[in-house]
Structure 1
């Protein structure tokens, strides 16, 4: 038990505040009766006369590791139970596209859904660009209050899943934390969800795939927008 690397072993050490408390846990009442000294009883335990025990250095090291593990577990539970702060909360949204993003924000932040956003529009140079955006990933890396408040426009870039500039002919593709880009398949451009390994097909003439849905939107802000929602099954 003492030298086990299991979680149960580490957790057992957190109950002791001091190394002396750990030694005392191995001292029996009959030991104190015969030895008449708690300090002597501790010494005998520490020197192995009562079986294998941790040295003071090993105790301190493993106790610290156990406490760190417990703290990490506690923080993870707190983060899961903490309400998600939504960038769209309290915003007066008039455009259909922004309203649709707001409806999907919580699900994408919590991991219940991964949405791929297709946008075609003109950049600040007047060049027509199009691309596919991993919404859940962007939510983690950008301040979406700027988009929902109208201070900034959401546009595809070279670091997104796919990007194409129709003027310069620059084309890029990048896998994201949620999707792997498959661009050499006979069926055309596909995205493979990294969590459940299911395929999302963005071809408008094809079914989007299992647990996926395609939604075309009329927007006053963009030439063309489509949302591809992929629901993540929890069981």
Structure 2
């Protein structure tokens, strides 16, 4: 069974190819073209795995592994800005969420908030909030300042 480290290590060679056709071209030799006489047929034979000692990748797998290797070696810089950085949270809940904001934005932890509320007619309304998702989609500054309630 292939380990993750060895798989990524062997997939480093895919960085030299821009497209799947370039990958297939690397599997074809001049002798192949001499016997076959057609580049399309040579591509097809290489795609079927007749010109490679190991496994020949299909197009979807090639692009998937290439993307994984590029993400590993050239990570995308995603700047983040903490909403609670220059605000003193109003209550204990907001103070705890402010402590968890950075870790949630970096996707180190995941915080789920459970809220339970009673209406005027004594009906209970409850729900869950995915803190990380709401941080990405909504401005939390009014919540941390105490101007808006969960």
TM-score, normalised to structure 1, is 0.35
Task: Please tell me whether Structure 1 or Structure 2 has the larger radius of gyration of its CA atoms.
Answer: 1
The structure with more strand, counted as a fraction of residues: 1
Between the two structures, name the one with larger relative contact order (CA 8 Å, sep ≥ 6). 2
The structure with more helix, counted as a fraction of residues: 2
TM-score, normalised to structure 2, is 0.48
